[in-house]
Amino acid sequence: MAGVNKNMPILIVDDYKTMLRIIRNLLKQLGFNNVDEAIDGSSALQKLRDKDCGLIISDWNMEPMSGLQLLKEVRKDVKLKELPFIMITAESKSENVIAAKEAGVSNYIVKPFNAATLKGKLNTVLGSF
């Protein structure tokens, strides 16, 4: 097992610039530097269709397209449907978790979180590194 490719392209999606910076910094601490950003679901979808991506980390709460809608679009797309998708949310309500699982989310992170939490979720989704 070769392990996790830390050069794989990762797309982070959040409409809050500060959150994008925090996630980017946490990924950098874990050794992932090939990170692209989108500020909403529709621009994320465009980027995903334009170039290869190995992982999506998306916020739930965004306008005009939420993270859940983005997840559903990704799972419907033949080229993208296998992509690991981690959802970030401030809500830990069970109906949200269930909705995300039903839509095919790979894993789920509740804010606030740190590098150790992110690493744990990445290990589950990508394999240990």
Report which residue type is found at 52: D
In the chain, % of residues over pLDDT 70: 98
The pTM for the full model equals 0.95
Q: Does residue 4 sit within a domain?
A: no
Instruction: Please enumerate in sequence order all residues whose Cβ is within 8 A of that of 47, keeping only pairs 6 or more positions apart, or say none.
Output: 11, 36, 38, 53
**What range defines the domain where residue 19 resides?**
10-126
Q: What is the CATH number of the domain that holds 87?
A: 3.40.50.2300
Q: Per-residue pLDDT tens for 59-103?
A: 999 988 999 999 999 999 999 999 999 999 987 788 888 999 999
Residue 55 lies in a domain: yes
Q: What is the pLDDT of residue 3?
A: 78
Return the pLDDT at 2.
Answer: 56
Number of domains in the chain: 1
Does pLDDT of 45 surpass 60?
Answer: yes
| Residues 6+ positions from 122 with CB-CB distance below 8 Å | 4, 30, 55, 86, 129
> Domain for residue 2, yes or no?
no
Q: Is residue 68 part of a domain?
A: yes
pLDDT at 1 over 50: no
Q: Is residue 116 part of a domain?
A: yes
**Per-residue pLDDT averaged across 44-66, rounded?**
95
